[in-house]
Amino acid sequence: MFLGIEWHWWIVIVALVGISIPFKVKFMNWQSRRRQEKKNGRPGKWGDEE
């Protein structure tokens, strides 16, 4: 036992972290792409400038 947790709970924790990291990377890439599209698609300051 490490920190009072049985060994099988450590396997569960490591599996959850291992699964969540790729989802976080995918979300960060999606969010960055979305921000870039918003930035590039935004019209001028007053909305009608080109």
Say which residues have a Cβ less than 8 Å from residue 14's Cβ, sequence separation at least 6: none
Tell if the pTM clears 0.75, that is, is over it. no
> 5: helix, coil or strand?
strand
Q: What are phi and psi for residue 13, nearest 5 degrees?
A: -65, -45
Model confidence pLDDT, tens digit, residues 1-50: 677 888 888 899 999 999 999 999 999 999 999 998 888 876 656 655 55
Token look-up 């569960």 returns 12
Structure confidence at residue 14 (pLDDT): 94
Rounded CA-CA distance 31/19 in Å is: 19
- Whether 43 contacts 49, CB under 8 Å: yes
Structure confidence at residue 5 (pLDDT): 81
